[in-house]
Amino acid sequence: MNILVLDYGMGNISSVHKKIINSKDIIRVSSDRSDIKWADKIILVGVGHFKNAMKNLKNLNLLDDLNDFALIKKKLTLGICLGMQIMCDFSEEGNVSGLGWVNAKIKKFTTDNKLQFKIPHVGWNQIKIAKKNDLFNGIEESSEFYFVHSYFAEPQNKSIILNKTNYIHEFCSAFQKENIIGVQYHPEKSHDAGEIFLKNFLNL
């Protein structure tokens, strides 16, 4: 398989690359449009501001190629953290539209209990496996993954939710709509469970 880790200027590329480089797949890190056509699977990594992410994708002229890859050719695409969020329709962060692949809004955590709940949500937290999926083969219910985020996805269609996590309230921490997969946590920073997840994705 040809795996593209798309570099659209939003960071955290090297951490993911290091976790998958020893796989049997051919891995490229690139922002070149031609590599989107080359790839069998794409990983969209990202940390930072939603509006900047969308601006970078537009400035790199990647939107049409990404839409063709995910929506027309329906090839597997994994979004991690901000990469998950930009797959959605709209974000309160910057009040801008995303790729629109998943009918979901990105909302900001709010709380009156600022002593107990810090925003951003940073650290280890459990996932609840809401839906059986090969991505979680070998991963136990209530496994812990690493999170760094102030915003979360709220899908309109609850049937696409794969994982739920509780922080301030229960939120969607992973979803899958056909070939489009998003996780709010960072599998590349989540030790054994994260490595298993990434291997499962590469093996799909």
Residues forming the active site: 81, 186, 188
Per-residue DSSP letters for the chain?
Answer: -EEEEE--S-S-HHHHHHHHTTSSSEEEEE--HHHHHH-SEEEE---S-HHHHHHHHHHTT-HHHHHIIIIIS---EEEETHHHHTTEEEETTTTEE---SEEEEEEE---S-TTT--SSEEEEEE-EE-S--GGGTT--TT-EEEEEESEEEEESSGGGEEEEEEESEEEEEEEEETTEEEESSBGGGSHHHHHHHHHHHHH-
